[in-house]
Structure 1
Amino acid sequence: MSENAEIARLQAENAALRRRIAEQDDDRQRLERLLQTTIDHVDSVIYLRDATGTFTHINDTYEKMTGLSRENVIGRRDSDVFPKEVYEAFRVADRQVVEGLATVTQEELLPQEDGMHVFRSYKFPVLDAAGRLIAQGGISTDLTKQRRAEASLQATRSLLQAIVENAPLAILATDAAHKYVLVSNEAARQVGRTPAEVLGKRVPQILPPGAAEAMMDTTTQVFRSGGTLVLEQTVPWEGSTKVFLTHMFPIRNDDGEIDAVGTVATDVTDMRRAEGEHLRLQEEIIRAQRSTLLELSTPIIPIAEGVLAVPLIGAIDHERNQQIAGAVLERITATRAAVVILDLTGVRQIDPAIVDALMQTVRAMRMLGAEAVLTGISPELARVMADLDAPLRRLTVRQTLQHGIGHALTRIRERKTGNRRIAAGEHGA
Structure 2
Amino acid sequence: MTSFNDEQPELTYLRQRVAELEHALTEAQSSQQALEQAAVGIVWHDLNGNIAYVNNAFCRNVGYNRAELLHGNILAIDADFNADESEDLWQAALEHGSVVFETSHRRKDGSTYVAEVVISPLQIADCRYICGIARDITERKQQVAELHLIKRMIDNSPDAMAMADHQGRIIYANNTLRSMFGYGDTIIGIDLKRIFSELDDTMIAAFVEEIRRTGSVQGVMQFRRADDSLFMGYRVAFGIFDANGVPIGSGAFIRDITEQLAAEKERATLQQQIIEAQQASLRELSTPLIPLSYNVVIMPLIGSIDSGRAQQVLETLLEGVAQHQAELAILDITGVKVVDTQVADALLRAARAVRLLGARVMLTGIQPSIAQTLIHLGVDLSDITTRGTLQAGIADALHIVGRATGRQHL
- Fold similarity call, TM over 0.5: yes
With the length of structure 1 as denominator, give the TM-score of the two structures: 0.74
What's 2:217 paired with? 229
CA–CA distance in structure 2, aligned partners of residues 194 and 240 of structure 1: 13
Q: How does 1:257-406 map to 2 (within 5 A)?
A: 257-406=246-395
Structure 1 counterpart of 2:135, which letter? Answer: D
Mapped to 1, the partners of 2:183 and 2:379 lie a distance apart of: 77
Q: Does structure 1 conserve the Cα–Cα contact (< 8 Å) formed by 2:42 and 2:58?
A: yes
Matching residue of 1:67: 63
- Report the equivalent of 1:38: 34
The offset of 1:390, in angstroms, is 3.4
Q: Distance in 1 between matches of 2:74 and 2:170?
A: 58
**How far is the alpha carbon of 1:49 from its aligned partner?**
7.0
60 and 357 in structure 1: CA distance in 2 versus 1, 3 angstrom threshold:
same
Question: CA distance change for structure 1 residues 139 and 236 in 2, over 3 Å: closer, same or farther?
Answer: closer
Go from structure 1 to structure 2 and tell me whether the alpha carbon gap of 1:184 and 1:18 turns closer, same or farther (over 3 Å shift): closer
- SS of equivalent residue, structure 1 residue 341: strand
Matched residue pairs, number? 404
More moved, 311-320 vs 236-245: 236-245
Structure 2 Cα separation of the partners of residues 241 and 232 of structure 1? 13
- Give the equivalent residue in structure 1 for 2:8: none
2:135 corresponds to: 142
The separation in 2 between residues aligned to 1:251 and 1:224, in whole angstroms, is 11
Q: What's the CA shift string for 1:354-408, capped at 9, x where partnerless?
A: 2211221112222323232211112332233223343233332211122222333
- Aligned with 1:233: secondary structure? strand
Deviation of 1:287 after TM superposition, in Å, equals: 1.9
Deviation at 1:274, TM superposition (A): 3.3
Q: Specify the SS of the correspondent of 2:131.
A: strand
Say if 1:103 and 1:125, in contact at 8 Å, map to a contact too. Answer: no
Aligned partners of 1:226 and 1:258 also within 8 Å? no
C-alpha deviation, 1:172, in angstroms: 1.9
SS in 2 for 1:177: coil
Q: CA-atom RMSD, angstroms?
A: 4.6
Change (3 A) 1:53 1:299: closer
CA contact (8 A) 1:48 1:137 kept: yes
- Residue 151 of structure 2 aligns with which residue? 157
Change (3 A) 1:39 1:196: same
Q: In the alignment, which of 196, 208, 224 is matched to residue 220 of structure 1?
A: 208
Q: How far, CA to CA, are the matches of 1:302 and 1:50 in structure 2?
A: 117
Change (3 A) 1:272 1:106: closer
Select 2:117's aligned residue among 94, 114, 120. 120
The 1:197/1:215 distance shift into structure 2, 3 A limit, reads farther
In structure 2, the CA distance between the partners of 1:114 and 1:214, relative to structure 1 (3 Å rule), is farther
CA 1:29–1:49: 2 relative to 1, 3 Å:
farther
Alignment match of 1:104 (pick from 98, 101, 105): 98
Corresponding residue of 2:164? 174
- Quote the Cα distance in structure 1 between the aligned partners of 2:117 and 2:290: 102
**1:168 Cα shift?**
4.4
5+ residue gaps, structure 1, are: 9-14, 425-429
Q: Which whole-Å deviations, capped at 9, do the CAs of 1:59-102 have from their partners, x for residues lacking one?
A: 2113223433333455x5748987997666655566677x77x8
Any residues of structure 2 matched to 1:203-214 within 5 Å, and which?
Answer: 203-204=192-193, 206-207=194-195, 209-210=197-198
| CA deviation after TM superposition for structure 1 residue 140, in Å | 0.9
In the alignment, residue 153 of structure 1 is paired with which amino acid?
L
Q: Secondary structure at the match of 2:323?
A: helix
Cα offset for 1:200? Answer: 0.5
For 2:229 and 2:88, how far apart are their aligned partners in 1?
Answer: 72
- How far residue 332 of structure 1 moved from its aligned partner, in angstroms, is 2.2
- 1-structure distance, mates of 2:189, 2:269: 44
Sort the Cα spacing of 1:241 and 1:371 in 2 relative to 1 into closer, same or farther, 3 A: farther
* Deviation for aligned residue 1:17: 12
Indicate the SS of the match to 1:348: coil
Q: Tell me, yes or no, if the aligned pair for 2:39 and 2:57 is still in contact at 8 Å.
A: yes
Task: Please give the residue correspondences for 1:57-96 in structure 2 after superposition, counting only pairs within 5 Å.
Answer: 57-73=53-69, 78=73
- What is the CA distance between 1:282 and its match in structure 2? 2.0
Residue 168 of structure 2 aligns to a residue whose secondary structure is coil
The residue aligned with 2:239 is 250
What is the alpha-carbon distance in structure 2 between the residues aligned to residue 96 and residue 236 of structure 1? Answer: 57
Deviations 1:237-279 (A, max 9, x none): 9999743211223344455544332222222234323322332
Corresponding letter in the other structure for 2:347: L
Distance 1:135 1:414 in 2: 138
TM-score where L is the length of structure 2: 0.77
Give 3-state SS (helix, strand or coil) of 1:387's partner: helix
* Counterpart residue identity of residue 98, structure 2: V
Task: Assess if the C-alpha contact under 8 Å between 1:232 and 1:244 holds in 2.
Answer: yes
Kindly name which structure, 1 or 2, has the bigger radius of gyration based on alpha carbons.
Answer: 1
Letter aligned with residue 335 of structure 1: H
For each residue in 1:149-205, what CA deviation from the matched residue of structure 2 results, as whole angstroms up to 9, or x when unmatched?
A: 3344334434434x1xxx5433322222111112344434444x422222102133x
Q: 1:87 to 1:326 in 2, by over 3 A?
A: closer
Contact 1:184 1:195 in 2 (8 A): no
Structure 2 distance, partners of 1:51, 1:376, is 119
What is the DSSP-based 3-state SS (H/G/I as helix, E as strand, rest coil) of the residue aligned with 2:288?
Answer: coil
